[in-house]
Amino acid sequence: MDTSDSTKTTRRHFLLVAGVTTATSIAGCSGQGATQTPDDTPTETPTPTATETETPTETETETATETETETTTTEEGPRYDNLKQVYNQELYSSEVRGDIDASWDQIEQEMEEQGHDLSDPEITEEFIEDIATHAAVKADFDLDRNIGAQAVAYIAYNKIGLDPDQVLVAARTRNDQGHNTPVASILAQTQDGYTKTLYQHTENEEPQTGPNGDNLFVLSPSETPENTFEEAFADMWNPNAPRTLSDFDPDGIKSTIRHDVEDEDIDAGSKDQVQDAIGRLNDNIVVGANYKDESEISYTPEAFPVVGDVVDPNDINEAPEAVGEVAHGLEIEASMFYYNNVAHEDEAYMEVDYTGDTGVEPAEYSAEDFDFSVVNEERKEELEHGLMDDFLSSTLG
Alpha-carbon gap, residue 9 to 91, rounded angstroms? 33
Determine the pLDDT at residue 255: 85
- The residue-averaged pLDDT of 254-264 equals 81
Determine the pLDDT at residue 211: 67
pLDDT band at 330 (very low <50, low <70, confident <90, very high): very high
Q: At residue 25, does pLDDT exceed 90?
A: no
Q: At residue 40, does pLDDT exceed 80?
A: no
pLDDT band at 268 (very low <50, low <70, confident <90, very high): low
Determine the pLDDT at residue 361: 96
| Percentage with pLDDT > 90 across the chain | 45
Please tell me which residue, 277 or 88, carries the higher pLDDT value: 88
The structure's pTM equals 0.78
Kindly report which listed range (195-204, 223-232, 367-376) carries the lowest average pLDDT score: 223-232
Determine the pLDDT at residue 215: 85
| Percentage with pLDDT > 70 across the chain | 75
pLDDT band at 158 (very low <50, low <70, confident <90, very high): very high
Rg (CA), the chain: 20
Determine the pLDDT at residue 305: 93
- Per residue in 283-294, pLDDT (tens digit) is 778 887 544 445
- Per residue in 60-76, pLDDT (tens digit) is 333 333 334 344 444 46
Determine the pLDDT at residue 76: 65
Alpha-carbon gap, residue 51 to 264, rounded angstroms? 50
- The residue-averaged pLDDT of 130-137 equals 93
Determine the pLDDT at residue 144: 65
- Per residue in 86-107, pLDDT (tens digit) is 999 988 999 999 999 999 999 9
**What residue segments make up the domains of the chain, in order of their start?**
9-58+65-396
- The residue-averaged pLDDT of 143-156 equals 88
Q: Which of 51, 38, 111, 40 is nearest to 77 (CA)?
A: 51
Q: At residue 34, does pLDDT exceed 70?
A: no
> How confident is the prediction for the chain on average, in pLDDT?
79
